[in-house]
Amino acid sequence: MFHVKFADIGEGIHEGVLLKILVQENQKVKEGEDLFTLETDKVNAEIPSPTEGTVKSIRFKVGDKVNVGDVIIIIDDGKEGVRSNMEGGEFIQEESEASPEAPPEAPPKAPPEMKPVVEAGGASVVGQIEVSSDLIASSGEGRMQEVTQNQSAKKILATPVARKMAKDLGVDIQTVIGTGPQGRVMKADIKAAADHLETSAANNLKTSIPDHVSTHTIQTPSAPIQVDEDRVQRVPMTMLRKTIAQNMTLSKYTIPHTLVMDEADVSDLVTFKSETKALALTQEIKLTYLAFFIKAVVLGLKKYPYLNASLDSERDEILLRKDFNIGIAVDTPDGLLVPVIKNADHMSLFEIAKKIEELTQKAREKTIALGDLSGGTFTITNYGAVGASFGAPIIKYPEAGILGVGAIVKKPVVVEDEIVVRSILPLSLSFDHRIIDGANAGRFLAYVKELLSNPKLLILL
């Protein structure tokens, strides 16, 4: 029997919704034939059959939520024993949280086989799914617990799902007491440990509040909101919306945000864009202001590299990024996504514009690859596209800054003691005050402003 599981496809994805089931029980399937479609918080992925055989059981129905490691379909492949796509097809005794006896952890194996995930139209959606061992050695998610000064850390038995959950929830798996067979750490153990940490943190927070501050101003995330149920409509949060909420909370909780704002006279940029629009159309390129913003930001990051950085708080080190990968916040029907334009410093203005159009379309169609949503070093959010002027954008953790650009409007300004009408662009820069001081943030924004006011510099520099 072959157990087809929801395998770990990376990028922090650990749950999904079963969007479509493409086969029926007792149906014969070939290796590579699509079995079901999963909707995650970032992409939709059609999962192919890893073996040839007959569908014996479908354990979930359309609309059900599934987690990494869940068995979704069982295929009779005519072979003895239980195998799964998380063990590379080798014979194993299938493990579950109810199994009476669990095998010891196996030593690391050779690099696992990579199997592509194919979208309905044939285009790759999430790149590749890594087929890995169901029992893996500790990867050092948490610091090792010392038994004695001269003894090494204890060996922890745990499923990959439990290890993944511990990493996501910030739980040191070495400190968790397992309740499974042979002391194996189960998902329930990780959840209990995470709840304990949350309760302890809340208690510590309460004891640190000065007496003159009302504790009623602090509401724990788990506290229910008291409402008249007849006067509200409850709308379940989508997976993407929940992920956005988690990421924004992480960023605001971790990074001390500071904001500087300014206005740039982009009258010459408006003229320059209009003059180059016809040339861009001959190459089937939609040239937008965002391409100019990216070009200016890259030059600014090169001059002020601490804006293109991250803080490694564990080692007290600042990581100055050598790549210039610019994220662009895209408003999609399902919520905000941030595709990343990789190596933007090596791209021309037209190449950037073409990449913006490609990634934006894929993001809105939810066919974008996971690789295009990761690896960013700095982000630009263009709320001017919806008519807004100024904002206070939230940094995309673990980046050091994000530039918000507003709508270009005509305003009366003073130029050489005369009042003239010019095209003005509002700019807002949020930055990580742990590694960037206001002076350098102001210099960076002033330089970006200078480049946008003199657009020919974007081509010459």
Sign of the four-CA dihedral 347, 353, 356, 361:
negative
pLDDT of residue 224: 74
Pairwise CA distance, residues 14 & 21, whole Å: 20
Q: What tens digit of pLDDT does each residue of 161-189 get?
A: 777 777 777 788 888 888 876 677 877 78
Final residue before a domain boundary, out of 94, 109, 130: 130
Q: Residue 99 pLDDT more than 50?
A: no
- What element of type H or E holds 15? strand 15-21
Cβ-contact 240, 41 below 8 angstroms: yes
What's the confidence (pLDDT) of residue 221? 53
CA–CA gap between residue 79 and residue 95 (Å, rounded): 18
Provide the strand spans (E) within 326-393. Answer: 326-328, 330-332, 335-337, 340-341, 378-382
Three-state secondary structure call for residue 20: strand
pLDDT of residue 200: 60
Q: Specify if 181 maps to a domain.
A: no
- Is residue 150 a part of any domain in this protein? no
Tell me the C-alpha distance between 40 and 168, whole Å: 16
- Residue 336 CA to residue 245 CA, distance in Å, equals 11
Residue 258 binned pLDDT confidence (cut-offs 50, 70, 90): very high
Q: Which of 129, 395, 448 is nearest to 258 (CA)?
A: 395
Dihedral sign computed on CA atoms, order 42, 45, 51, 54: positive
| Better pLDDT: 428 or 151 | 428
Mind telling me the catalytic residues?
433
Q: Which residues contact 407 (CB under 8 A, 6 or more apart)?
A: 384, 385, 387, 388, 389, 426
122 shares its domain with 262: no
Predicted confidence (pLDDT) at residue 26 exceeds the cutoff of 70:
yes
pLDDT of 356 above 50: yes
Hey, what are 5's tokens? 């599981």
Tokens of 63: 């609309």
Is residue 170 one of the residues assigned to a domain?
A: no
Mean pLDDT of 133-156: 43
Residue after which a domain boundary falls, among 130, 158, 187: 130
Give the pLDDT confidence score for residue 430 in this predicted structure.
97
pLDDT at 353: 95
CA separation for the pair 208, 108 (Å, rounded):
45
Q: Which helix (H) or strand (E) holds 163?
A: helix 160-169
Per-residue pLDDT, 339: 95
My answer on whether 276 and 408 are in the same domain is: yes
- Residue 343 has what pLDDT? 96
How large is the average pLDDT for residues 373-388?
Answer: 93
In-domain check, residue 148: no
The pLDDT, as a whole number, for residue 159 is 67
- Whether 298 and 436 share a structural domain: yes
- pTM for the complete prediction? 0.59
Calpha distance 192→177 (Å, rounded): 10
Section 252-267 average pLDDT = 94
d(CA 141, CA 53): 38
Range in 24-38, 81-95, 249-263 with the lowest mean pLDDT: 81-95
The rounded distance, in Å, linking the Cα atoms of 146 and 154 is 8
pLDDT on residue 309? 96
Does a cis peptide bond (omega within 30 degrees of 0) precede residue 48?
no
DSSP class of 435: T
Mean pLDDT across the chain, nearest whole number? 79
Q: Is residue 143 part of a domain?
A: no
Decide: 88 and 98 in contact? Cβ < 8 Å: no
Q: What percent of the chain has pLDDT over 70?
A: 76
Burial 424-444 (b: 16+ CB within 10 A, else e): bbbbbbbbbeebbeeeebeeb
For the ranges 2-16, 200-214, 315-329, 398-412, the lowest mean pLDDT is seen at: 200-214
Q: Read off the CATH number of the domain in which 87 is found.
A: 2.40.50.100
What is the DSSP secondary-structure string of 28-87? Answer: EE-TT-EEEEEE-SS-EEEEEPSS-EEEEEE---TT-EEETT-EEEEEE-S-SSBEETTT
Give the closest residue to 401 by CA, choosing from 305, 330, 337, 322.
305
* Count of domains forming the chain: 2
pLDDT at 65: 87
Residues 415 and 271 both lie in one domain: yes
Q: Is 362 helix (H, G, I), strand (E, B) or coil?
A: helix
Residue 144, pLDDT > 70, answer: no
Domain at 365, CATH number: 3.30.559.10
Maximum mean pLDDT: which of 132-146, 186-200, 363-377: 363-377
Structure letter (DSSP) for residue 226: P
Q: Enumerate helices (H) and strands (E) in the chain, giving the number of each.
A: 8, 22
Residue with token string 């927070």: 205
**Which domain-ending residue is among 130, 159, 174?**
130
202 domain-assigned: no
Residue 156 has a pLDDT of 72
Lowest mean pLDDT, pick from 189-193, 206-210, 394-398: 206-210
Whether 159 is in a domain gets the answer: no
Q: Is residue 349 part of a domain?
A: yes
| Band (445; pLDDT cuts 50, 70, 90) | very high
Between CA 382 and CA 326 the distance in angstroms is 13
DSSP for 166-195? HHHHT--GGGPPP-SGGG-B-HHHHHHHHH
Main-chain dihedrals φ then ψ at residue 90, nearest 5 degrees: -80, 155
Greatest mean pLDDT range, 67-71, 280-284, 402-406: 402-406
Range(s) of the domain holding residue 82: 2-130
